[in-house]
Structure 1
């Protein structure tokens, strides 16, 4: 049987779900039985090739399923065939040397008859869609009687071809639908991973191998544009150890990406598809020669963007120029271009916010340090004046100025602490910290202030030590800020309790007070820098609005989280949960 297949090169490329493949195998078996032949095979078109996807007959399936044959070669062979209705018969003596290399020859013995079937005879029925395009081929071999079909058998063959064509078209629709579902699921997974990453490098790391696998691509490169007009490129190919130099083609690809984004399309091109790029012939030839030196035969260029702005492009590559990019893949690729564009835009904004945050931290540090020296000078001179013999009114003014300097010093200390714990570049030099020791320091620092205000300050130390990994100074500052706030907003006769409790592999530091409480509206903004409560009673008590913001940043630096529960007039509980060592 001169089967419409290619030489054996391993498994085929067409993706068929098990149900569709079984359906086609049943069709092949039914075609053989209906036409009274021993062997049958069904091939489906994939771009410029046909792939055998189902076969029936002893040992045939293992031998030929997955083989591929160029469509042009089959069409040339059928050009000098005999027409038997929808079938084409090529006797063995008309066989061309080119097709002979692709055939499957049965071992069945030829019967002794002038009308005997020859092992190299070809009988195939092209399967056409409603537009007359070739979508597949049904072929049969080895008639049960060993003879070439007569009139009656040809009628059976014609019915067989009609039934098989209809069933094959249904199978192709199922195959395309299954491919759409597969791509939709995989692209959702890819974008979910990409959108969850805060930096462009992590976006690429999370998505590049999955994208290549999703589109059956040999490799890919992704180029993004920055706000200053520069580019950043990442290359990925399975097993590749070094990145190729893409400078020769990147500028042309960037212009093409801009055009594709404006037209909302992708560009799939190869030597056989020069028009898809829209480049002048000499530029296209230069581009293809460069890609071919890298072993690339086909490229799918996908623009990335958000809104009207093109933010870069994704180039998917295949080694074979004959493996066509399907319409389903083109649609899915454009969707990925939109979603990855959003991921790139998000990463760019996060990066910009980081730069702004770093600049702000540097600015606060500089200002605080510059203010420290003159403030120290003022404080020193005020101390000297306080020790002098002054008139009562002058003494009152000096005392008031000293309180102002002390408050300003506190603000500067908070600013410096906030700048340090909020700095994304500041490395946490962690060590094991016993929280019992932290509570002892907090009790000493905050207990005396609470006593002055006639507030009961009670620390409940646990019976066992709790070790966390972090900075002792920062953890002391965190619990002191919580305790100091609780004391500040609790009136005389009230109570503040500090507790440590275990929760699985975590420890909870809870500070509970019976103070003035916090309204629901204020609770939503409490951890913002410089926020002060709208409660007039709270505003009368001095503060910088940085205390809880510092607590939240320190907790985050220690892989912890902060929770707050409060009701106006009924007190507040703030809890920090940290992982135990």
Structure 2
């Protein structure tokens, strides 16, 4: 690892993954540096055709987020000696390309053939099950100034295996998060577009969301006329006010492609590096490329639009450069967008919108639930294997640093298990097809059970918990386990974010035909900007004091989904440094009357 490249690098526009995943990977790199006897270590993962440093130890601020071209790293690895699962490039074989983005550490090498040189590279490539290079674990500046001994290499080899497992889990979680994000945004796009009576209004309603969702600079949408003769095109570009280019000059090519691609359900990423597309002759590809060059576009995603077997048009998303490839997740989401916008266009022509709205939103909801369920169960298997091996590990022969590293890995596995459990719960309570057969539930009993469950955490945190409950039963129509989960999430959150000596109070009261449950704490509070995003999946507070406390970012979204399923509402009143009050209002039990579930957001 060379810790500070001077040129040839750039920083990622946004941090990789979520804070909890980054913390897990940070524990890994710190552990390998400490136990293997190196001053510096880093973990670099492939992201959008680049390699990005996602965790590092022993380097100055600003290194995490650095991006290096994939070709540079792959060339270095091809030039390396094989040291088991690790690769070593001695300084005298360092390439000029590698030196162009690397900074030489301020270290004077020792004498002798086994002396470590500042330009030496020692890295473990991390491949997935398909053999694709997904990341790189690197170390630099050994404590003794020497090339690693066999004993050190044994430690490094074990860490390389652990790094591969954690990296693949992290990548799967990142992909799942991206799929959930794309599915959520796609559903919002459909909601905005459906119901508009004309193509222009459809585009106006959704164009900004589509462009933002796919990180594009613009788009154009062509709808075929209902009589099959001619088409209508409308375009949108961020910040542009000039007239649209003459799209008609390429219609003979793209109309034919749209018809074929709708049948095949194919979405085409097209650029100078992706000219070879089904049904596209070389001369036509060159003509399309020339057209894009003239309007200053380097890459497009071509999406057919249709309803049933009928192709009703196509959508083209544009980017200025082809440096950032269209990912598989974006292509899959674009395919869904093609179906949904095709429906919007078709229904705009026929003014049959209401049925289409419910149908497409149900499909998007089902898609998200299916993704979360599938990925959650798939993540459980490798996590179980990792946890089982950690439990079987004999730590009696380890020194203090070794035991601390094992304990850190165990804590990390526990946190990841909590994330997976929360994701599966989120999918369950968000499933629009899941039956809801409410029974009368006494919230007083639920509060008693929650208090017992949270007693240990409150005692450990030196937090006083109080309950204010009526003498008579307080019944609401609902599902007992979900209501228990709702109040457990709120109470445990209140305890977690309340400092020692603080207080948490839970109250339940009947108010007319509603039951109001409040959870009030004297904790660290929530800022107004954070309150606006509390119910978004995987959101973690920007408050540094909150980020030091473990969490999945799914507790409150689960609360919101459960409340919605029970036909209620949830409100938050909070101020930074003055505590938080969460108020949940549910319909009271009325014999023979079931609550009307609110739509899940």
Give the TM-score, by structure 1 length: 0.57
Q: Once the 2 structures are TM-superposed, how far is the Cα of residue 3 of structure 1 from its aligned partner?
A: 6.2
Residue 301 of structure 2 corresponds to 300
Q: Once the 2 structures are TM-superposed, how far is the Cα of residue 113 of structure 1 from its aligned partner?
A: 4.8
The alignment partner of 1:337 has SS state of helix
Residue 310 of structure 1 corresponds to 311
Structure 2 stretches lacking a partner, 5+ long? 354-601
Q: Deviations over 1:113-136 (max 9, x none)?
A: 543222221111110011211111
Residue 66 of structure 2 corresponds to 67
Residue 23 of structure 2 corresponds to 22
Distance 1:294 1:53 in 2: 36
The alignment partner of 2:134 has SS state of strand
Residue 217 of structure 2 corresponds to 218
Q: Deviations over 1:89-139 (max 9, x none)?
A: 111111111121122432344445543222221111110011211111111
Give the 5 Å matches for 1:279-428. Answer: 279-350=280-351
The alignment partner of 1:274 has SS state of coil
Q: Deviations over 1:50-107 (max 9, x none)?
A: 2222222231x51x32332232322222222111111111111111111211224323
Distance 2:79 2:318 in 1: 38
- Once the two structures are overlaid, the 10-residue window that deviates more, 324-333 or 168-177, is 324-333
Q: Deviations over 1:428-481 (max 9, x none)?
A: xxxxxxxxxxxxxxxxxxxxxxxxxxxxxxxxxxxxxxxxxxxxxxxxxxxxxx
Distance 1:29 1:294 in 2: 49
Q: Is residue 15–residue 179 contact of structure 1 (8 Å, CA) maintained in 2?
A: no
Residue 240 of structure 1 corresponds to 240
Distance 1:250 1:21 in 2: 47
Distance 1:225 1:15 in 2: 40
Q: Once the 2 structures are TM-superposed, how far is the Cα of residue 213 of structure 1 from its aligned partner?
A: 1.0
Distance 2:119 2:277 in 1: 41
- Once the two structures are overlaid, the 10-residue window that deviates more, 230-239 or 290-299, is 290-299
Give the 5 Å matches for 1:252-271. Answer: 252-271=253-272
Distance 1:75 1:292 in 2: 30
Q: Is residue 16–residue 54 contact of structure 2 (8 Å, CA) maintained in 1?
A: no
Q: Is residue 257–residue 303 contact of structure 1 (8 Å, CA) maintained in 2?
A: yes
Residue 95 of structure 1 corresponds to 94
Distance 1:68 1:197 in 2: 43
2:38 maps to 1:37: yes
Residue 139 of structure 1 corresponds to 138
Q: Once the 2 structures are TM-superposed, how far is the Cα of residue 191 of structure 1 from its aligned partner?
A: 0.5
Distance 2:65 2:255 in 1: 38
Give the 5 Å matches for 1:492-503. Answer: none
Q: Is residue 12–residue 68 contact of structure 1 (8 Å, CA) maintained in 2?
A: no
Q: Is residue 10–residue 68 contact of structure 2 (8 Å, CA) maintained in 1?
A: no
Residue 122 of structure 1 corresponds to 121
Q: Is residue 37–residue 142 contact of structure 1 (8 Å, CA) maintained in 2?
A: yes
Is the alpha carbon distance of 1:277 and 1:292 closer, same or farther for their aligned partners in structure 2, counting shifts above 3 Å?
Answer: farther
Residue 166 of structure 1 corresponds to 165
Is the alpha carbon distance of 1:32 and 1:236 closer, same or farther for their aligned partners in structure 2, counting shifts above 3 Å?
Answer: farther
Is the alpha carbon distance of 1:21 and 1:197 closer, same or farther for their aligned partners in structure 2, counting shifts above 3 Å?
Answer: farther
The alignment partner of 2:351 has SS state of helix
Distance 1:326 1:282 in 2: 26
Give the 5 Å matches for 1:460-475. Answer: none
Q: Is residue 2–residue 105 contact of structure 2 (8 Å, CA) maintained in 1?
A: no
Distance 2:103 2:297 in 1: 31
Distance 1:13 1:45 in 2: 14
Distance 2:176 2:99 in 1: 35
Q: Is residue 16–residue 175 contact of structure 1 (8 Å, CA) maintained in 2?
A: yes
Residue 200 of structure 1 corresponds to 199
Q: Is residue 4–residue 74 contact of structure 1 (8 Å, CA) maintained in 2?
A: no
- Once the two structures are overlaid, the 10-residue window that deviates more, 336-345 or 174-183, is 336-345
Is the alpha carbon distance of 1:68 and 1:276 closer, same or farther for their aligned partners in structure 2, counting shifts above 3 Å?
Answer: farther
Q: Is residue 12–residue 51 contact of structure 1 (8 Å, CA) maintained in 2?
A: no
Distance 2:2 2:156 in 1: 18
Q: Deviations over 1:343-365 (max 9, x none)?
A: 1111112399xxxxxxxxxxxxx
Is the alpha carbon distance of 1:295 and 1:93 closer, same or farther for their aligned partners in structure 2, counting shifts above 3 Å?
Answer: farther
Distance 1:262 1:302 in 2: 12
Q: Is residue 257–residue 313 contact of structure 1 (8 Å, CA) maintained in 2?
A: yes
- Once the two structures are overlaid, the 10-residue window that deviates more, 79-88 or 160-169, is 79-88
Is the alpha carbon distance of 1:123 and 1:110 closer, same or farther for their aligned partners in structure 2, counting shifts above 3 Å?
Answer: same
- Once the two structures are overlaid, the 10-residue window that deviates more, 145-154 or 39-48, is 39-48
Q: CA RMSD in A?
A: 2.3
Q: Once the 2 structures are TM-superposed, how far is the Cα of residue 277 of structure 1 from its aligned partner?
A: 4.5
Of structures 1 and 2, the one scoring higher in RCO (CA 8 A, sep 6+) is 2
Distance 1:283 1:223 in 2: 19
The alignment partner of 1:341 has SS state of helix
Q: Is residue 52–residue 67 contact of structure 2 (8 Å, CA) maintained in 1?
A: yes
Residue 147 of structure 2 corresponds to 148
Give the TM-score, by structure 2 length: 0.55
Q: Once the 2 structures are TM-superposed, how far is the Cα of residue 250 of structure 1 from its aligned partner?
A: 3.3
The alignment partner of 1:275 has SS state of coil
Is the alpha carbon distance of 1:15 and 1:75 closer, same or farther for their aligned partners in structure 2, counting shifts above 3 Å?
Answer: closer
Q: Once the 2 structures are TM-superposed, how far is the Cα of residue 20 of structure 1 from its aligned partner?
A: 2.1
